[in-house]
Structure formats: C-alpha cells, structure tokens
Structure 1
Amino acid sequence: MINNVNNNSSQSSSQHHQTENIINRSPISRSERNYQNTHQQQQQQHQQQQQQQVFRNRNNSNIYPTYADQPDIVRASQKDDYYKKLFEDQCFEIFTRLTGPRFMMNRQQESKLLSNSLYFLLTTMIGSQTLGEEYCNLRQIKDSSFSVPSLLDRSRLYIFNLLAPYLIRKSLPRLFQKYPKLYHLKEYFPNLERLHLALFYFNGSYFNFSKRLSNIRYIFNRKVDQKRPKYHILGVLIIIQLLVQLVFYLKDKYQSYISSKNLEFTSEINNNNNQSSSSSSPTSQSSSNNDSKITTSSPGTCTLCLENRTNTTSTECGHLFCWNCITEWCNNKPECPLCRRPISVRSLIPIYNYQ
C-alpha cells in the first residue's frame, strides 16, 4: 500500500512537471513560429527583389546573357540566307529531276517554301540553332519570360515567317483583280518593311515582322564587351529617305489633282462651246448633220495635249490619247491620266483605221 501511494504521488508529480513544461514552452514555440514566418517572408521578398534586379540589369551584366546587337543579328541573317539559297537550289534541282522542268517551271515559289520549311524544321523547330546563329553565337529566347521558346512559339514563328507570306503572295493578284482600287496599296509594302528595318537599327529588338509577332529575340551565348558598334546612323538614313519619298509622293499627288481639275475645266469649256454653236442658228440643221459625219470621221481630242489625236492609242481601261503623249506620261507615271488605273507602255494598244 505504501508503495502504491508513493508510486501515485510520483506519477502525479511527474505529470505536474510535464504540464508546467508544456505551459512554459507554449509561448516560446509561438514566438519561434512567428519568427520563422517573418524570416520566410523576408527571404521571399529578398528573392523577388533579386529576380527583379537581375531582370532589369541583365543587359548590363557580364554574368547573365545579354541581348544580341544589330551587327550580329544582321550577320546571322545573311549567313542563314546564304545557306538557305544553297539548300533551295539543291532542292529545286532534285524536284526538277523527279517531276521534270516543265512541271517545276511555274512552281518555283512552292519549291522555295518547301526548302525553307525543311531548313526551319531541321533547325528552329526542333530547338536547335541555325547555321547563322551558331556562327554568331546567338540563341532565340521568349522576350516576355526570357526563356527558351516553346513548340507553340516556334510554330507561330513558322506561320508568320514562311506560310503567311506565301499565302499573301498567292492571293494578292486575285484580290487586286477583284478590287482594282486596292492595287496602289502594293507600293506601300516595301516602305513599311524599310520603316520596320529602321526601327530595328534604332533599338535592335526585332529584325523582321515574324520575330515581332512571335515576341522572339536573340541573346548571346558568350561574354561580350559592353561597348559594341550600333547601327543608329543607318536608321536615320532610312528615315530621311522615307521622308524624301513622302515629299515627292505628295507633290505628285498634288500635280495630278491640279491636272485633273484643268482637264475637267477644259472639257466643260468645250461642251459649252459646242452647245452655243449648235444653238446659234436654227437654219443650219442640215449642215450640222453633215458636219457631225465629218467630226465623227475625224480624230477626237487628246486630253493631254488638247489637240486632235495623232496615232490614236488606247489604254486597257478604254481611254484614247496620242501615242507620244501617253507613252511620255507612262514613263513618268504608270497610271491612266483619267481613271488612275495602273498601266504600262507594254499594255498600250495602237488603234488603226479608227472612225
């Protein structure tokens, strides 16, 4: 009995000590937890600040990859164009041997698309570098996340770089034939490409439209010097050239507008003179019939020189002019003086025995 009482007392005392320890430890564990939570939050904030700092200074750092400059991108593009041309010629020769020269004569664009697609598939599509990129130690990255482009990004680049231009070239002639008024938009495409090239020379971001639409840029695979040559002067020259072309374009439009107004004014004067001469004497109806026969048999008036037409020539749109007048006009401005439809000297039609 005495032993049992002693054991019970010892157990109760041990339980009392355990409860005291638990009570004493509980505030310490809470403080430790609070300290750990605050420490983790501070570490996360510090890591985020470091990542933001790396993202901001990656162009000015020698440790992290830097964006490629204009000279290296242009050199890589020229190198790729050289190898693409060799591969295109070899593919065209193989296709010609397989299908015959007559079949391939009108399918050069399809052969070029197929050869460039094979080159793209064997390099960029599988995640490898092209020959030009290897030559200049460049690597494609996603500009928004600074990571390797995914398969979807590379597929989008293929569509914008190869497939879409081919479809546009094939559909434009039909579109212009259906809507002739849109034909003048064709002359703006080269200027738009040159403007994009000037922007590339200024900031060095996207060399062509496909890279811009896919949001893909180049970085270096090697350590580079901070002081590298830029192509800003080329961008300035292109902008100056485009401005000069714009001035001449506006000048030509203004002159054509003035000439059209003069033609309308002279045609109104001629119509008024004809009406006044026809209504001047009512007794000359019989003679006017004879005169109308004479005037219909005689050549009409050229709207360019305002004289009787000599060597009457017709355009594709059906307007008549002198041969010398319309050829000189076409050499300076390849469009019809009246309806502004695009024409050329080759398309002019001389008219003989015209009444």
Structure 2
Amino acid sequence: MTSAQGSESLVLPQFPNAQQAQIIRAHQRDFFYASSLKEQTENILRSWFGSRWLMRWDKEVDLLSKLVYHGFTTGQAIQSLGEEYTDIWSTSTTDGGFPSPRRRAALIFLPAFPAYLLSRLGTKLTTRSSRFAKLVHQLPTILDVVSEVNLALFYFRGVYYDISKRLIGIHFVSSIAENPNVRPPSYSLLGVLIALRLLHRLSSLFRSSKPLPPKSELEGTLLMLKTEKTQALRDPTLASIDETLVTTILANPPDDSAPPVPAEEDDYTALRFGSISEAERARRSCSLCLEERTASTSTECGHLFCWSCIVGWAKEKAECPLCRQSITLSRILPVYNL
C-alpha cells in the first residue's frame, strides 16, 4: 500500500454525543459536590463567626462555593467530577474543540451571578412602585419558566441540560463507544410532563388576570378583599402584619454585625424575666442563632424563633428549619409574650 493510499484510509476517530443519562448523572454529581463544598465552608464559617453572620452572608458563601468548584474544574479546561464520573467532555458547537477561555469563563459566571444579583436586588428593592422594581421581582419567575422550557427541550432532544450551555454553545461528547445493540433510554415523558405543567401555569395566570364582574357592590368589595389576600399569599412583599406591610418591616433590617440585644432590653418581648427561672430561660433559645430569643415569632407549625432569624431563613429557604414544613412570610406570627 502506497503512502497516498495510507493517507486516504486514515480516518480520525469521531466521539459520539453524550447520552441523556450521562448528562443528567454528571449534573447531579456536580450539584452534589458543589453543595458539599458549600456545606463544609458554612460549617467552618459558622464556627468562626457564628450563625447570625452566616445567615447574613449566605448568598455570598453560595456564590463563592460555586465559583471555586467550577473554577478549578471548568476554568482549568479539565473535566468536573461529574463529567469524569460519566466519561463525558464539553466541546464547542462551532468547531468541535475544547471551549475557549472566554466560553469557559462564561460557563463559570453565567449560571451563578444572575441568580445572586437578582436575590440581592430583590432584598434591597422593597417597594414595588417603580417599573424597575417590578421587573426585578418578576425576573426570577420568568427565568424559572425559561429554565423549565429549556429542560423540556432537553428531555425531547437530549443536548442542552443547562440553559447557559445552550446560550454559549457547549455540548457534551462521550469517550464511551455507542453500542448499536442497546437502545438508550428515552426521557420524552418527562418533557411532556413539564410541558403540561407549563400549560397549567399559563392557564392559571390567564384566569387570575381576567377580572370577574361583580353582581353587586357587596360582592365587588368581597372580591377585592379576596384578590388582595390571594396576592398577599402569592407575593410575600404584599403581605402585612398588624396592618403593616412586611416590606416596611424589612426595609431596615437589623445590623447583623452588631452584638445581639439581650432579651431584657428587647422592645418586642413583653415578659417579666425576674419571675422566670433559669431553666425556663434556657428553653427560650432560638435554634438558628443558638441564643435567647428576641422578638419571638411563631411559624405555622408552632416552632419559635427570633424574628430576624426566621425571616432571613425563610427568604432563602421557605421551610421550617426544624420540621421542614413550608413557611409563608405572610403567615408567621410575632408572639411578644413567649
């Protein structure tokens, strides 16, 4: 065989596209390791600075953990732990090679920074009078719907699991040869279920935005009160406690860096501590800050916390830290005599 014939017969290996199951497992593994890194970082910071400080900077800790994990894997142009577990590699859709440094930087920052900025802006913009504030409060819902649409497309097509990779143009190839005798599993049913859920959300939004004509002035008043209550339940920023908007109460959050106020000096605790035994006071500790409660607040499930502690917790994770029952900011109850 001549050299010309040898060059014509030389064929470079072509790596197959990663299967849906490989991409899903890789994403689950990466999420697990990033969450483990955040949990270990929180344990260290909690032992150094305390729970109150950690609750104040929880968003920054979450952002830093994601940047560190993906920076030392994707940023170094190597496989993440999840990609290594499933033997897949990220490649560019334009030239089929490794992602460029700019695309790798976008893969690191794009999934983490928008969610962080929206969460911080959402806590700062407590008023909904301006158009910008309304847009900021609506953006998380819009992004959630867009992510669900992208996930449904992934279950149908099996290419882009993450919307950031779709925007940047990154897909996965597998180093494992395809077996022609084995049919890969299909996840189209999950795509159908997500599409049905999106249609249900769309129909619910349409029904809620369509006004119902009242038959009388009394019915109109009842309808208005019911609408305000429904909006307050759906949007915590419209809820009120003792005829005061929650947004007004949260407009000036307490300084977490300041030393905690003793229970005797708390304006929102109506107790005579002189008549309370030390054993009883020991049971007044908040399970979040591990200190004696101030401005005691009860959740729907009956557990008691400091007002600032449970509000800060519920804004990040809407569930009771003790029993995991769901928490709604409009339904927490200040209890001054407990």
Task: State whether TM-score is above 0.5.
Answer: yes
* 1:140 partner SS: strand
* Shift, 1:158, TM fit: 1.4
**8 A contact 2:149–2:195 mirrored in 1:** yes
Aligned-partner Cα distance in 2 for 1:91–1:342: 31
Q: Aligned to 1:304, which of 221, 241, 248?
A: 221
Map of 1:250 onto structure 2: 206
* 2:75 partner SS: coil
Q: Aligned to 2:176, which of 222, 240, 249?
A: 222
Aligned-partner Cα distance in 1 for 2:202–2:21: 28
Q: Aligned to 1:239, which of 188, 191, 195?
A: 195
Aligned-partner Cα distance in 2 for 1:124–1:185: 27
Calculate percent identity across the aligned residue pairs: 26
2:260 matched to 1:343? no
The structure with the larger Rg is: 1
Task: Kindly provide the amino acid, as one letter, of the partner of residue 155 in structure 2.
Answer: Y
Q: Spell out the pairing of 1:179-194 with structure 2 (5 A cutoff).
A: 179=131, 181-182=134-135, 183-184=137-138, 186-194=140-148
2:85 matched to 1:135? yes
Identify the structure with the greater helix proportion.
1
Map of 1:74 onto structure 2: 24
Task: Kindly provide the amino acid, as one letter, of the partner of residue 204 in structure 2.
Answer: F
Where in structure 2 are there 5+ consecutive unaligned residues? 245-338
* Shift, 1:184, TM fit: 4.8
What do the CA deviations read for 1:208-243 (whole angstroms, capped 9, x no partner)? 121112211111011122421121111112112211
Q: Spell out the pairing of 1:41-120 with structure 2 (5 A cutoff).
A: 63-120=13-70
Map of 2:75 onto structure 1: 125
**8 A contact 2:27–2:82 mirrored in 1:** yes
What do the CA deviations read for 1:320-346 (whole angstroms, capped 9, x no partner)? x8xxxx4x5556x2259xxx99633x5
**8 A contact 1:139–1:220 mirrored in 2:** yes
With over 3 angstroms needed to count, the CA separation of the structure-2 counterparts of 1:225 and 1:240, relative to structure 1, is same
Aligned-partner Cα distance in 1 for 2:16–2:119: 36
- Give the TM-score of the pair, scaled to structure 2: 0.60
Map of 2:252 onto structure 1: none
* Shift, 1:154, TM fit: 0.5
- Give the TM-score of the pair, scaled to structure 1: 0.57
Aligned-partner Cα distance in 2 for 1:209–1:197: 8
Map of 1:31 onto structure 2: none
With over 3 angstroms needed to count, the CA separation of the structure-2 counterparts of 1:100 and 1:224, relative to structure 1, is same
Map of 1:334 onto structure 2: 231
Greater RCO, CA 8 A, separation 6+:
2
What do the CA deviations read for 1:15-46 (whole angstroms, capped 9, x no partner)? xxxxxxxxxxxxxxxxxxxxxxxxx9xxxxx9
Aligned residues: 232
CA RMSD of aligned residues (A): 3.3
Aligned-partner Cα distance in 2 for 1:89–1:193: 25
* Shift, 1:145, TM fit: 0.7
